[in-house]
């Protein structure tokens, strides 16, 4: 990376900024560490603050329309006001907290298709705000999330795509205004009963709520519709359960209770 001049709000000859991440990989509930390096421009300026914001792309439904919007969902000020002389270098180390409900962007070392995530650095000078480009951040699943996703892969489900949707899930406590859906193609043994499986995680320091949505296939005389399920995974005891067997049993029971046999 190289210094990027902030010109929109501060004019030609304004400060330049570079954000350097010590490691772009993190987990929900963890931290991203690094430093923001600022290089003074051609004249002295008074910086009011420097902040970092975590941003992702969110799908929004508005009436009959859908569109995508970049949404910042967590921000931290990493410094207060200070003067910046011409050509002066100012180095600000930081530890940025990653919210527990942050969407996952990496699975098995591969980027999840459909996901974006990054930190944006913002400076305010004389009530004029300017922001840098997005510095990519890779969010890996928590052990609890990894166990659930691994179980579905072991059952034969195949990853399709992931997205983030604005809104709240009924009956689930959320602190963020959106939730992630990780979509899978059905395993062969369930393919006659469902079109796809969607998995959503809502985590806190103690547990992960897992919300499952089954896109049910329709028949000649019946319409397809969705079926929902929910389970709680405690972080401290996640390894005490055979999640492959548990989820296989739940899926079979859920589908059979709805009259879907395979």
* Domains defined along the chain, listed by start: 4-139 (2.60.40.640), 143-257 (no CATH)
DSSP states of 78-96: EE--EEE-TT-EEEEEEEE
Confidence band (pLDDT; 50, 70, 90) for 1? very low
H helices within the chain, ranges in order?
143-154, 243-257
What value does the mean pLDDT take over residues 202-224? 76
Instruction: Count CA within 13 A, CB hemisphere, residue 164.
Output: 24
pLDDT, one tens digit per residue, over 233-262 is 999 999 999 999 999 998 988 887 656 555
Residue 74's nearest CA partner among 115, 107, 29 is 29
With a pLDDT cut of 90, the percent of the chain lying above it is: 68
Confidence (pLDDT) at 259 = 60
Confidence (pLDDT) at 101 = 98
Residue 186: is its pLDDT beyond 90?
yes
Q: What's the angle, vertex CA 157, arms to CA 212 and CA 255, rounded to 5?
A: 50
Confidence band (pLDDT; 50, 70, 90) for 172? very high
pLDDT, one tens digit per residue, over 72-106 is 999 999 999 999 999 999 999 999 999 999 999 99
Confidence (pLDDT) at 66 = 85
Spell out the residues 6+ positions from residue 47 whose beta carbon is closer than 8 angstroms to its own: 15, 38, 79, 81, 82, 83, 84, 123, 124, 125
pLDDT, one tens digit per residue, over 2-59 is 555 554 445 567 888 999 999 999 999 999 999 999 999 888 899 999 999 999 999 9
Global confidence as pTM: 0.88
For residue 149, the SS3 value is: helix
Looking at the chain, how many residues does it have?
262
- Chain centroid, CA 139 distance in Å: 7
Residue 74's nearest CA partner among 87, 55, 61, 91 is 55
| Structure tokens, 121 | 């650095």
Instruction: Count CA within 13 A, CB hemisphere, residue 199.
Output: 30
- Cα–Cα distances (Å) from 204 to 61, 119, 147, in that order, read 26, 21, 16
Rounded to the nearest integer, the mean pLDDT of the chain is 88
With a pLDDT cut of 70, the percent of the chain lying above it is: 89
3-state helix/strand/coil string of 104-146: CCEECCEECCCCCEEEEEEEEECCEEEEEEEEECEECCCHHHH
Residue 219: is its pLDDT beyond 70?
no
């Amino acid at each position: 990376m190289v210094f990027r001049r902030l010109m929109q709000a501060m004019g030609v000859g304004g400060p330049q900024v570079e954000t350097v991440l010590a490691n772009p990989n993190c987990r929900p509930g963890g931290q991203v560490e690094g430093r923001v390096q600022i290089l003074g421009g051609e004249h002295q300026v008074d910086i009011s603050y420097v902040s970092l914001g975590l941003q992702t792309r969110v799908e929004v439904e508005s009436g009959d329309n859908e569109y995508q919007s970049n949404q910042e969902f967590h921000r931290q000020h990493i410094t207060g006001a200070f003067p910046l002389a011409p050509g002066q270098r100012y180095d600000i180390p930081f530890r940025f907290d990653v919210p527990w409900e942050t969407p996952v962007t990496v699975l098995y070392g591969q980027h999840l298709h459909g996901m974006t995530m990054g930190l944006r650095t913002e400076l305010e000078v004389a009530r004029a705000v300017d922001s840098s480009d997005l510095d990519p951040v890779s969010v890996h699943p928590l052990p609890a999330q990894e166990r659930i996703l691994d179980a579905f892969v072991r059952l034969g489900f195949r990853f399709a795509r992931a997205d983030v949707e604005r809104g709240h899930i009924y009956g689930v406590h959320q602190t963020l205004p959106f939730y992630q859906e990780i979509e899978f193609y059905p395993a062969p043994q369930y393919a006659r009963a469902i079109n796809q499986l969607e998995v959503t995680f809502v985590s806190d320091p103690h547990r992960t709520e897992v919300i499952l949505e089954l896109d049910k296939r329709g028949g000649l005389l019946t319409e397809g519709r969705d079926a929902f399920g929910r389970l709680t995974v405690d972080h401290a005891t996640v390894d005490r359960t055979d999640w492959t067997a548990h989820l296989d049993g739940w899926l079979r029971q859920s589908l059979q209770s709805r009259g879907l046999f395979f």
